[in-house]
Amino acid sequence: MPLPAEIRPSQLAGDVRIVSSHAFRSFSELTSNSPQLYDSVVGLFMDTYNAPPWNEEWNDEMAGDYFGKLMQLPSQVTTVQEGSKVIGLFIGCTGSTREVVPLSVEAYFPEEPKEIVNEIKRRIFVKIEEVGGDQKPAFWGCDFAVPPEKRGAVIAGKLLREAIKYPIEKGITDMYGMTMIGSPFHTITERRGSRMLLEVKDVLPKNPRVFKIMDMRGLLQ
Protein backbone atom coordinates (compact mmCIF):
# COMPACT_ATOMS: atom_id res chain seq x y z
CA MET A 1 0.00 0.00 0.00
CA PRO A 2 1.50 3.43 -0.88
CA LEU A 3 2.35 5.68 2.08
CA PRO A 4 0.30 8.87 2.59
CA ALA A 5 2.17 11.71 0.89
CA GLU A 6 3.01 13.46 4.20
CA ILE A 7 4.82 10.42 5.63
CA ARG A 8 8.28 9.91 4.20
CA PRO A 9 9.89 6.47 4.55
CA SER A 10 12.90 8.11 6.22
CA GLN A 11 10.62 9.28 9.08
CA LEU A 12 9.40 5.76 9.68
CA ALA A 13 12.95 4.46 9.70
CA GLY A 14 14.22 7.34 11.84
CA ASP A 15 14.78 5.31 14.98
CA VAL A 16 16.20 2.23 13.35
CA ARG A 17 19.91 1.88 13.99
CA ILE A 18 21.97 -0.16 11.61
CA VAL A 19 25.44 -1.29 12.60
CA SER A 20 27.55 -2.33 9.62
CA SER A 21 31.15 -2.91 8.69
CA HIS A 22 32.74 -2.32 5.29
CA ALA A 23 36.18 -3.47 4.17
CA PHE A 24 38.35 -1.40 1.81
CA ARG A 25 41.68 -2.23 0.23
CA SER A 26 42.52 1.35 -0.68
CA PHE A 27 41.44 4.94 -0.20
CA SER A 28 40.27 5.23 -3.81
CA GLU A 29 38.10 2.15 -3.32
CA LEU A 30 36.31 3.99 -0.48
CA THR A 31 35.95 7.31 -2.31
CA SER A 32 34.91 5.84 -5.66
CA ASN A 33 32.74 2.91 -4.51
CA SER A 34 31.14 4.57 -1.49
CA PRO A 35 31.31 8.37 -1.88
CA GLN A 36 28.31 8.96 0.40
CA LEU A 37 29.82 6.84 3.15
CA TYR A 38 33.10 8.73 2.75
CA ASP A 39 31.37 12.13 3.06
CA SER A 40 29.48 11.09 6.21
CA VAL A 41 32.56 9.52 7.75
CA VAL A 42 34.80 12.52 7.06
CA GLY A 43 32.10 14.90 8.34
CA LEU A 44 31.75 13.05 11.65
CA PHE A 45 35.53 12.63 11.93
CA MET A 46 36.22 16.37 11.50
CA ASP A 47 33.36 17.50 13.77
CA THR A 48 34.60 15.14 16.49
CA TYR A 49 38.31 15.83 16.40
CA ASN A 50 37.98 19.58 15.86
CA ALA A 51 36.02 19.73 19.15
CA PRO A 52 37.22 19.26 22.76
CA PRO A 53 39.07 17.41 24.15
CA TRP A 54 41.09 17.01 20.92
CA ASN A 55 40.71 20.56 19.53
CA GLU A 56 42.43 19.70 16.25
CA GLU A 57 42.13 21.73 13.07
CA TRP A 58 41.07 19.39 10.31
CA ASN A 59 39.79 20.52 6.93
CA ASP A 60 38.64 18.39 3.95
CA GLU A 61 42.06 18.30 2.33
CA MET A 62 43.94 17.32 5.49
CA ALA A 63 41.36 14.66 6.30
CA GLY A 64 41.67 13.26 2.75
CA ASP A 65 45.48 13.07 3.16
CA TYR A 66 45.13 11.34 6.51
CA PHE A 67 42.59 8.76 5.28
CA GLY A 68 44.79 8.20 2.22
CA LYS A 69 47.74 7.41 4.51
CA LEU A 70 45.98 5.00 6.80
CA MET A 71 44.21 3.24 3.94
CA GLN A 72 47.54 2.10 2.53
CA LEU A 73 46.67 -0.86 4.74
CA PRO A 74 43.52 -3.00 4.43
CA SER A 75 40.93 -1.00 6.32
CA GLN A 76 37.58 -1.53 7.88
CA VAL A 77 35.03 1.22 8.36
CA THR A 78 32.33 0.32 10.88
CA THR A 79 29.38 2.63 11.32
CA VAL A 80 26.16 2.99 13.24
CA GLN A 81 23.56 4.63 11.07
CA GLU A 82 20.30 6.17 12.24
CA GLY A 83 18.18 6.72 9.15
CA SER A 84 20.62 8.27 6.69
CA LYS A 85 22.82 9.80 9.41
CA VAL A 86 26.06 8.22 10.62
CA ILE A 87 26.03 8.43 14.43
CA GLY A 88 28.97 6.18 15.16
CA LEU A 89 32.25 5.50 13.46
CA PHE A 90 35.20 3.21 14.04
CA ILE A 91 38.05 2.90 11.56
CA GLY A 92 40.55 0.09 11.89
CA CYS A 93 43.47 -1.04 9.72
CA THR A 94 45.26 -4.35 9.70
CA GLY A 95 49.00 -4.82 9.38
CA SER A 96 52.13 -6.00 11.13
CA THR A 97 53.34 -3.76 13.97
CA ARG A 98 56.29 -2.86 11.66
CA GLU A 99 53.65 -1.38 9.31
CA VAL A 100 51.16 0.17 11.70
CA VAL A 101 53.56 1.84 14.14
CA PRO A 102 55.39 4.11 11.62
CA LEU A 103 52.21 4.84 9.70
CA SER A 104 50.27 5.78 12.82
CA VAL A 105 52.98 7.92 14.41
CA GLU A 106 53.54 9.81 11.15
CA ALA A 107 49.78 10.25 10.67
CA TYR A 108 49.18 11.50 14.23
CA PHE A 109 52.19 13.84 14.42
CA PRO A 110 52.47 15.37 10.93
CA GLU A 111 53.86 18.66 12.26
CA GLU A 112 56.56 17.35 14.58
CA PRO A 113 60.27 17.25 13.59
CA LYS A 114 61.53 13.97 12.22
CA GLU A 115 63.76 13.27 15.27
CA ILE A 116 60.76 13.49 17.60
CA VAL A 117 58.65 11.24 15.37
CA ASN A 118 61.49 8.71 15.15
CA GLU A 119 62.00 8.75 18.91
CA ILE A 120 58.27 8.07 19.46
CA LYS A 121 58.43 5.13 17.04
CA ARG A 122 61.63 3.79 18.63
CA ARG A 123 60.15 3.80 22.13
CA ILE A 124 56.94 2.14 20.95
CA PHE A 125 58.91 -0.62 19.22
CA VAL A 126 61.01 -1.30 22.33
CA LYS A 127 57.86 -1.71 24.41
CA ILE A 128 56.03 -3.76 21.77
CA GLU A 129 58.92 -6.22 21.81
CA GLU A 130 58.75 -6.36 25.60
CA VAL A 131 55.06 -7.29 25.51
CA GLY A 132 55.60 -9.82 22.69
CA GLY A 133 53.55 -7.97 20.06
CA ASP A 134 56.30 -7.51 17.49
CA GLN A 135 55.85 -10.79 15.62
CA LYS A 136 52.08 -10.57 15.31
CA PRO A 137 49.69 -8.66 13.08
CA ALA A 138 47.66 -5.97 14.80
CA PHE A 139 44.37 -4.22 14.27
CA TRP A 140 45.13 -0.50 14.52
CA GLY A 141 42.10 1.28 15.95
CA CYS A 142 42.60 4.58 14.14
CA ASP A 143 39.45 6.57 14.87
CA PHE A 144 36.42 6.27 17.06
CA ALA A 145 33.61 8.84 17.08
CA VAL A 146 30.05 9.34 18.29
CA PRO A 147 28.50 12.83 18.05
CA PRO A 148 28.10 14.59 21.44
CA GLU A 149 24.28 14.42 21.47
CA LYS A 150 24.38 10.63 21.07
CA ARG A 151 27.08 9.82 23.63
CA GLY A 152 26.61 7.82 26.82
CA ALA A 153 24.10 5.44 25.23
CA VAL A 154 26.50 2.57 24.53
CA ILE A 155 26.69 3.29 20.79
CA ALA A 156 30.49 3.10 20.94
CA GLY A 157 30.36 -0.16 22.85
CA LYS A 158 28.22 -1.81 20.14
CA LEU A 159 30.35 -0.31 17.39
CA LEU A 160 33.57 -1.59 18.88
CA ARG A 161 32.26 -5.11 19.36
CA GLU A 162 31.14 -5.20 15.70
CA ALA A 163 34.45 -3.74 14.45
CA ILE A 164 36.65 -6.27 16.24
CA LYS A 165 34.62 -9.32 15.19
CA TYR A 166 36.30 -9.53 11.75
CA PRO A 167 39.96 -9.26 12.78
CA ILE A 168 39.34 -11.75 15.60
CA GLU A 169 37.77 -14.17 13.08
CA LYS A 170 40.95 -13.83 11.01
CA GLY A 171 43.04 -14.77 14.05
CA ILE A 172 44.27 -11.26 14.94
CA THR A 173 44.11 -10.63 18.67
CA ASP A 174 46.10 -7.43 19.31
CA MET A 175 44.51 -4.02 18.99
CA TYR A 176 46.96 -1.12 18.85
CA GLY A 177 45.97 2.50 19.14
CA MET A 178 46.53 6.02 20.39
CA THR A 179 44.24 7.82 22.80
CA MET A 180 44.30 10.49 25.45
CA ILE A 181 44.55 10.01 29.21
CA GLY A 182 41.08 10.53 30.70
CA SER A 183 39.20 9.93 27.43
CA PRO A 184 36.39 7.36 27.33
CA PHE A 185 38.43 5.12 25.04
CA HIS A 186 41.29 5.15 27.54
CA THR A 187 38.84 4.16 30.28
CA ILE A 188 37.18 1.44 28.16
CA THR A 189 40.51 -0.20 27.28
CA GLU A 190 42.07 0.33 30.72
CA ARG A 191 39.21 -1.55 32.35
CA ARG A 192 39.74 -4.46 29.98
CA GLY A 193 43.44 -5.11 30.27
CA SER A 194 45.21 -2.73 27.86
CA ARG A 195 48.96 -2.22 28.21
CA MET A 196 50.69 1.10 27.89
CA LEU A 197 53.30 1.33 25.14
CA LEU A 198 54.19 5.00 25.48
CA GLU A 199 53.03 8.11 27.28
CA VAL A 200 53.85 10.71 24.63
CA LYS A 201 54.67 13.27 27.34
CA ASP A 202 57.91 11.35 27.93
CA VAL A 203 59.01 12.65 24.52
CA LEU A 204 56.82 15.72 24.08
CA PRO A 205 56.26 17.30 27.53
CA LYS A 206 52.60 18.00 28.43
CA ASN A 207 51.25 16.00 25.48
CA PRO A 208 48.39 13.91 26.97
CA ARG A 209 48.33 11.23 24.25
CA VAL A 210 49.21 7.61 24.93
CA PHE A 211 49.83 4.56 22.74
CA LYS A 212 48.41 1.27 23.94
CA ILE A 213 48.00 -2.33 22.93
CA MET A 214 45.46 -4.87 24.14
CA ASP A 215 44.04 -8.28 23.49
CA MET A 216 40.78 -7.47 21.69
CA ARG A 217 39.09 -10.57 23.03
CA GLY A 218 38.87 -8.68 26.34
CA LEU A 219 36.60 -6.16 24.61
CA LEU A 220 34.01 -8.78 23.75
CA GLN A 221 32.98 -8.96 27.42
Q: Which residues bind ligand COA (CB under 6 A)?
A: 48, 144-146, 151-157, 179, 183-185, 187-188, 191
Which CB, 28 or 50, lies closer to ligand COA?
A: 50
Which CB, 13 or 188, lies closer to ligand COA?
A: 188
Which CB, 26 or 147, lies closer to ligand COA?
A: 147
Residue 175 beta carbon to ligand COA: minimum distance, rounded to whole angstroms:
11
Q: Are 72 and 30 in contact (CB under 8 A)?
A: no
Q: Are 18 and 81 in contact (CB under 8 A)?
A: yes
How many Å apart are CA 9 and CA 11, to the nearest integer?
Answer: 5
Per-residue exposure over 7-17, b if at least 16 CB sit within 10 Å of its own CB, e if not: eeeeeeeeeee
Q: How many CB atoms lie within 10 A of CB 67?
A: 23
Q: Are strands 174-180 and 137-145 parallel, antiparallel or unpaired?
A: parallel
Residue 79 beta carbon to ligand COA: minimum distance, rounded to whole angstroms:
12
Residue 2 beta carbon to ligand COA: minimum distance, rounded to whole angstroms:
37
Residue 138 beta carbon to ligand COA: minimum distance, rounded to whole angstroms:
15
Residue 117 beta carbon to ligand COA: minimum distance, rounded to whole angstroms:
19
Angle ∠(67,172,193) on CA atoms, nearest 5: 95
Which CB, 26 or 207, lies closer to ligand COA?
A: 207
How many Å apart are CA 70 and CA 73, to the nearest integer?
Answer: 6
Which CB, 58 or 185, lies closer to ligand COA?
A: 185
- Side chain identity at residue 75, one-letter code: S
